[in-house]
């Protein structure tokens, strides 16, 4: 004969579900719908120089294997990171020398991390709710 135990459930899984749901909403907002300020923080502006110090248009620069940059002739290029406040975002040129093009390079890790964490926290929310409902 099986015994029945009458054990009162706790609200701990419910609290976890609420906390993970809030975290999920925050990560969805940052991962898929970031603010303009957040987008600009995660963008890097690059200008390119040859090893001799001559400026090269960013249109001629292409990434090589790894993180090296080369132009069409195979000459290695040195990327120079520019401060966002020095860049004219509309023209994508350096203010001091308009002939130099600048390329934007977004940092995708921040957005991908938030998207992945949003999915995981949504799953955690569902699991915590299922545990709460089962022990209620």
Per DSSP, the three-state class of 93 is strand
pLDDT one-digit tens code per residue, 50-106: 677 666 666 666 666 666 777 777 777 777 666 655 555 554 444 444 334 445 555
- Give the residue carrying structure tokens 């899984």: 13
pTM: 0.57
pLDDT one-digit tens code per residue, 105-117: 556 788 889 999 9
Contact 24, 121 (CB under 8 A): yes
């Amino acid at each position: 004969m099986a015994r029945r135990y009458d054990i009162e459930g706790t609200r701990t899984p419910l609290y976890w579900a609420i906390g993970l749901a809030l975290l999920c909403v925050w990560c969805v907002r940052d991962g898929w719908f970031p603010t303009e300020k957040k987008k600009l923080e995660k963008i890097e502006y690059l200008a390119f120089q040859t090893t001799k110090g001559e400026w090269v248009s960013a249109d001629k620069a292409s990434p090589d294997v790894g993180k090296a940059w080369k132009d069409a002739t195979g000459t290695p290029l040195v990327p120079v990171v520019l401060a966002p406040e020095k860049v004219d975002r509309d023209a994508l040129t350096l203010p001091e020398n308009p002939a130099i093009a600048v390329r934007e390079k977004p940092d995708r890790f921040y957005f991908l991390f938030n998207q992945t964490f949003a999915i995981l926290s949504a799953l955690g929310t569902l699991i915590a709710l299922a545990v709460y409902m089962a022990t209620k």
